[in-house]
A and B are shown apart, each in its own frame.
Chain A
């Protein structure tokens, strides 16, 4: 039984990690082939920094993600505070519409925004590009921020806010000095979620990016012919960075827990 269990774990983990090992291995491959191993090289890691298209796509992805996540966090946080104050039917109506981008398949969010921008283009003069990309990313990010801030608001003791008012704060001061610190963990996790979804998104960006290419869109365009090994190299670097960050965070939280239990 124990051996079976171990074998099962090996099978599942091999399944999950096989493509990733293939990718990392072939980022060191001498030829451009994705199946034939011809020898070890680091040249793709050097080439990567000379490849303007990939570097540009990388920065587009980063800029869009940071702007979209920041705006979505602000918008989503005040939205959550407002929704929390609403009465029954208003609340459920707003929440249900807000969750549409979460519930709907991405492709539908993507094409519906495409339709909207096309209608707008009859009235205003603009092209698909950074602007449409950022707006669509904000749109699908906001629900995740609301989702992670709402529970924190529910847990919060409303009397603390009233106490701040009694002690002479005006409502704005009370909001920033009492409410915001209280719901901060929700805001931060919402921001991080928005950031990762934004960096990873392909489908919605694909329909709304126009000439501005994010990394996933660039990869898709390449995949029709051949994904260049530089892209493997970039992904390997990004993967290692994330691995290190996650490792550090986990080690820290495990250590913190041990301290608490002592």
Chain B
């Protein structure tokens, strides 16, 4: 069995369907319609800098909100009895089994101007508030869709933390702030970095959430790329240039977060 040649069919598949397509993205990014080498696609990107910036900011805010929301959840969960941990994990992952497009669509009916949340506030004579088609709605959509991706890695590092360390810190006079910054955060760092990449990468590249909840106000990188390939402004060369930048951005983000956690055994997944 010690023969690596058994993987030959897969290697062929990998070369054709994983490696070649990525090379094509690079090739298209640096050529024009006639196939001549050009930097034009890249330089044209400067027009879209605000869109790139907005995507990064919205995804960044969503990632921070996810982290703040998920941290206590993961901590509480890691302190439960083993059986209850399992049940809670299931309860948190369960919504993911319903298609994310439908769940996002349901947020539309919740956030609309005559939607359910505004109706609820209307009972108390408040509102209506303007919630949909704002940046806030897009961030909410991201947090909602990717929160479990933050909870999962955080929880799996936190169950491994020896609870007596926390107790020792408390016995030695540490208050909540000290316990958090000196004990919990350093020990859960690998989970934090994995969670950040798992939330930031899909948030930054989404086009569904921004289109459904953001209206025209929150155009993102994903929307731009979609337009170049399947939309009105068909231009795969420009689209490839955008994709290349997005890819570099993601790799950069991952190398930064992985740099923080040297324990690279859990870096990727």
Binding site for B on A (CB under 8 A): 5, 8-9, 12-13, 15-20, 22-23, 26, 34-35, 75-76, 78-83, 85-86, 90, 94, 97-109, 111-116, 118-119, 135-136, 138-139, 142, 147, 161, 171, 174-175, 179, 200, 202-203, 206-207, 215-216, 219-220, 223, 227, 231-232, 235, 238-239, 242-243, 246, 250, 253-254, 257
CA distance A19 to B247 in the complex (A): 32
CA distance A115 to B5 in the complex (A): 30
CA distance A171 to B5 in the complex (A): 14
Minimum CB–CB distance from A212 to chain B (whole Å) comes to: 15
**A219 in complex: contacting residue of B2, B101, B236, CB < 8 Å:** B101
B window 75-100: CB within 8 A of A:
76, 83, 86-87, 90-92, 94-100
Do B1 and A171 touch (CB < 8 A)?
A: yes
CA distance A142 to B212 in the complex (A): 31
- Interface 1/0 per residue, B1-32 and A, CB below 8 Å: 11111111111011011111110110010000
> Does chain A have a CB within 8 A of B109?
yes
Minimum CB–CB distance from B224 to chain A (whole Å) comes to: 10
Do A112 and B3 touch (CB < 8 A)?
A: no
Q: Report the interface size for chain B: residues with CB under 8 A from the other chain.
A: 80
Minimum CB–CB distance from A245 to chain B (whole Å) comes to: 10
Minimum CB–CB distance from B107 to chain A (whole Å) comes to: 5
Q: Closest 6 A-B residue pairs measured CB to CB?
A: A82-B7, A112-B21, A79-B10, A19-B106, A105-B205, A34-B109
Which residue from chain A places its CB closest to the CB of B95 in the assembled complex? A16
Binding site for A on B (CB under 8 A): 1-11, 13-14, 16-22, 24-25, 28, 69, 72-73, 76, 83, 86-87, 90-92, 94-110, 112, 114-116, 119, 144, 147, 201-202, 204-205, 207-208, 212, 222, 225-226, 229-230, 236, 239-240, 243, 246-247, 250-251, 254, 268-269
